[in-house]
Chains A and B, each alone.
Chain A
Amino acid sequence: MLFIPTLFAISLLTFFLSTNVPGDPVEQMLNSNSEIGSSAKAQAAEIAYVQKRKQLGLDLPTFYFSISDKATPKDLFEIPKKFERQNLSKLINQYGNWEEIKKYYQAVKAFDVKIGNVESDSTNADALIDIKSDVKQLLIEPDNKVISFLINNLKTNAQAASNLLYLQPEVNTIQQLYGDVQTKATPYKKYIPTIHWYGTKNQYHQWITKFMVGDFGISYQDEKPVKTVIWEAVRWTVLLSFISIFLTYLIAIPLGIVSAANKGNIKDQTISTTLFILYSLPSFWVATLLIMFFGGGDFFNLFPSFGVPQTTEGLSFFGKFANYIWHLTLPVVCYTYGGLAFISRQMRGAMVNALSQDYVRTARAKGVDEEKVLWKHAIKNSLLPIITLFANVFPLAISGSVVLELIFSIPGMGKTAYEALVARNYPVVYTVVMFSAILTLVGYLVADILYAVVDPRISYNKK
């Protein structure tokens, strides 16, 4: 039962890794390019942003509580735009007076709205564009020198055309408020630790409670439910994994037995050296070479370089089946060869161990022929550790191989997870990480139970 706190810790770890990441998921999702548009457009974009943020649940504080300093207000998370929020927190770090910073920020924000309403004409076009970009910059600029420069720019631009002159008092207010921020600075406040308590209305709580009842949220990339995304990916990975695990066991077990039976002689050495070399071959190298040789390069155009059939419509069942096999051959080869060494080595060890047991000697002594000793008597006991190994392989079978899925473009778990990570698609990332963690822990548990089942001498009750 100790694995529940472990899972809890993992959920915290993934959650905090993701909240501290650069980039704004809301902006990314809206993909808004409405930098300089009409006022109505800009306001619509602002409203859309706030709505999307609420829909994604990002309008809540991140955790049950936050440890920060006295200068940082409790309700900073209510500032909708992430970059502006980060900028405010940088300003707070410098000056430590939220009241003044807030006034300054609101003035700039109001100015930004107002400037959107100004009609552009031939006399003010250049100045207006400058003003607009300067204000946008001002909202995300923490550096003192740049801020002063931008405010001065605003001043000169406001004088550039007669119909912009009425903006001057506003610019002066901004300048004055910024002056207040600097003169009334209370930097000592940042050295006084404070704990803000937010209660259960926070992002983490929302996510984890929904997760526990099976609601994984929606993917940022294509707005599909995460469940669908993962389900689509898992099918490919499981298909591939099970074919290759099956093949691995099918090849590795006889190899292990043969090398155990011929322990120490040439046969054994050849098998173990070959397997050792296979084990050391980097799978992404082998995959690249296989694609070059067999996947439509200059050499043999036998297999497709993409691991998944594009369309299977119009084909009979066997046609589909053959098509899948044709596409999956190269990936399966790459998946399989690496595991061979490990499994057959375990098998060899177990078999060598079994062959040195007394009952094997008894069997030999009473005249059972060598083949029968090997394949009937010894194999039973030596297979047990191999079966338990399966529990360790299982989580890997689900989480898939990032390496091979990327190279062969198989839309399985590994590729999906990788793409989600790079695109900062957190709902998918959380779900994948949590599931692989759960599966790994369950795998360990199953392995432990299997050990006890197959070997009654092991008991977890007494020590």
Chain B
Amino acid sequence: MDTNKELKQDYWSYVVRQFKKNKRALYSLYIVLFMLFIAVFADFLANEKPIVCTYHGKTYFPILKDYAVSLKLSQFPKELNNVVWSDLKYDFVLRAPIPYSPSTQDILNFGFVSPFGKQDVPSLRWRHWLGTEGIGRDILSALIHGTRIAFIIGLISMSIASVIGILLGALAGFFGDRGIRISRAALIMGIIFTCLGLFYANAVGGFFTGILAFFVCIFIGYLISRPLKKIPILTPKTSIPIDIIVQRMIEILVSIPRLFLIIAVVAIAKPSIFLVMAVIGLTSWTEIARFIRAELLRIRNLEYIEASEALGFPRWRILLKHAIPNALSPVLITIAFGIAAAILTESFLSFIGLGIPPETLTWGKLLSLAQGGKSQLWVAIFPGFAIFLTVTLFNLIGEGLTDALDPRQKK
């Protein structure tokens, strides 16, 4: 009876069950979810603006209002423009648990005030629980908002890496060197019009118009290649060695020291979080692609793929609907480790002052503020510990996934 039940359960619920057996990984996941919560609600946890307040008889939700203002949907009323929020005389006020924004400078407590020593604050409510840094910014507040940046960078850069890695790895593994065959006409037109597309994308300028111009070119090339196919010399099909191409791309990326490549791009361009995410994402897809490729090399020879080929499904559909979903599980492991690596890379970049705009306080940036200092141990310990904790948690989740997805562990 028990076995019957087990048979009915699908693969993923089996994985979840296996994962839950690993207590370390499970608790790591819970803590990560908690940190995700902190990241999402950072503005409500640490902010100089109150959550709710009544000022001159009117009730405001300044933090919510702030979102609207930054989206240019609304404006603060005149009397609340450019005010020091902590000094206002409110009729009623509900403040965020940490009443400091990461950019708030507490002029009474500047110059590395210790979390254990005496602080010049009105009450415990205003205490800097983790101390302050050189110009009086609250460290706990910076840590809370740093969580958001770390998570955004980890998640988005790995999403970019996954999309590229899964796509290229799947193409290489599923089609191999002989799988994609197109007519000579399409090949020649494809090369010519890709070059033309790049040229016009550059000539037109602008991000979206450029992309549009590129795809218009490709489409025109496709339209031209259709009648050309009928010319006898151009009809024979040639295969595109997609596997070799992808393998070479991986080899190139792997041979250049990754951190070096990232620093090269980041040092040259204008600092921005998006650039850092994009660069980390674009350089860390190789591992994912390798895993997917290896999985698909195995899967493409399985009987169910053969069966669906025999049924006459288009190969793209087989790849997308039947082959890739079964290859995804090992990628989860790589993604978990990849997020840890991405957070580490970003911390290091901001530690040496690259990539992230100078006014944004990230964990790495905070850690760098402790450098050269003498007794500012807390400035070094807390952000470093935050980085360490996050990296460890993601590594533990990666370990747990490795065990859960390994069929040899089945009992």
A residues contacting B by CB (< 8 A) are: 2-3, 5-7, 9-10, 13-14, 17, 21-22, 67, 69, 190-191, 193, 276-277, 279-282, 284-285, 288-289, 292, 297-298, 399, 402-403, 406-407, 417-418, 421-422, 429, 432-433, 436-437, 440-441
Contact = CB atoms under 8 A, between A and B. Distances in A.
Contacts of B399: 276
9 contacts: A190-B203, A276-B396, A280-B392, A289-B381, A297-B375, A421-B267, A429-B264, A437-B256, A440-B255
Contacts of B380: 285, 288-289, 292
Given A279-B395, A282-B347, A284-B367, A289 B256 contact: no
Given A282-B391, A298-B374, A421 B260 contact: yes
A9 B248 contact: yes
Contacts, number: 107
Contacts of B130: none
Given A69-B203, A191-B203, A406-B352, A399 B257 contact: yes
A282 B255 contact: no
Given A9-B248, A292-B374, 15 more contacts: A6-B252, A6-B255, A22-B268, A67-B199, A277-B392, A280-B391, A281-B388, A285-B387, A402-B263, A406-B352, A407-B371, A432-B260, A433-B256, A437-B256, A440-B254
Contacts of B93: none
Contact of A17 (B196, B264, B391, B392): B264
Nearest to A401: B259
B265 to A, nearest CB: 8
A284 B248 contact: no
Contacts of A69: 199, 203
Interface in B367-409: 367, 370-371, 373-375, 377, 380-381, 384, 387-388, 391-392, 395-396, 399
B264 A3 contact: no
A433 B256 CA distance: 6
Given A6-B248, A6-B251, A433 B384 contact: no
Contacts of A190: 203
B375 A298 contact: yes
A280 B388 contact: yes
A274 to B, nearest CB: 12
Nearest to A422: B267
A153 to B, nearest CB: 29
A288 B263 contact: no
Contacts of A288: 367, 370-371, 380, 384
B264 A421 contact: yes
Contacts of A433: 256-257, 260
Interface in B323-370: 340, 344, 347-348, 351-352, 364, 367, 370
Contacts of A285: 367, 380, 384, 387-388
A281 B391 CA distance: 8
B392 A436 contact: no
5 smallest beta-carbon distances between A and B, as pairs: A285-B384, A437-B255, A280-B392, A440-B255, A298-B375
A282 B195 contact: no
Interface residues of B, number: 43
B311 to A, nearest CB: 31
B252 A193 contact: no
A253 B380 CA distance: 33
B200 interface: yes
A318 B375 CA distance: 35
Contacts of A399: 257, 260
B268 A10 contact: no
Contacts of A279: 395
Nearest to A20: B268
Contacts of B364: 284
Contacts of B195: 67
B263 A421 contact: yes
Contacts of B348: 282, 284, 403
Nearest to A436: B257
With most chain B CB atoms within 10 A of its CB, the pick from A13, A276, A281, A288 is A288
A403 B260 CA distance: 11
Contacts of A5: 248
B399 to A, nearest CB: 8
A402 B387 contact: no
Contacts of A193: 196, 199
A280 B396 CA distance: 10
A426 B137 CA distance: 39
Contacts of A7: 255
Nearest to B266: A421
Given A282-B347, A433-B260, A440-B255, A21 B371 contact: no
Nearest to B199: A193
B110 to A, nearest CB: 20
A71 to B, nearest CB: 10
A381 B347 CA distance: 40
Contact of B268 (A21, A67, A280, A418): A21
A184 B396 CA distance: 67
Nearest to A423: B267
A436 B387 contact: no
Interface string B235-262: 0000000000000100110111101100
A385 to B, nearest CB: 19
Contacts of B257: 399, 433, 436
Contacts of B384: 282, 285, 288-289
Nearest to A429: B264
Nearest to B254: A440
Contacts of A191: 200, 203
A21 to B, nearest CB: 5
Contacts of B396: 276
B47 to A, nearest CB: 27
A22 B391 CA distance: 35
A21 B396 CA distance: 40
Contacts of A297: 374-375
A280 B341 CA distance: 10
B202 to A, nearest CB: 9
A418 B132 CA distance: 31
A436 B260 CA distance: 10
A292 B380 CA distance: 9
A428 to B, nearest CB: 12
B260 A280 contact: no
Nearest to A12: B252
A284 B347 CA distance: 9
A303 to B, nearest CB: 16
Contacts of A417: 260
A339 B340 CA distance: 17
A41 B259 CA distance: 44
Nearest to B364: A284
Contacts of B377: 292
B172 to A, nearest CB: 15
Contacts of A406: 352
A298 B387 CA distance: 24
A264 to B, nearest CB: 14
A17 B255 CA distance: 16
Contacts of B265: 17
A134 to B, nearest CB: 28
A13 B264 CA distance: 12
B41 to A, nearest CB: 26
Contacts of B375: 297-298
Interface string B122-145: 000000000000000000000000
A403 B410 CA distance: 41
Contacts of B347: 282, 284
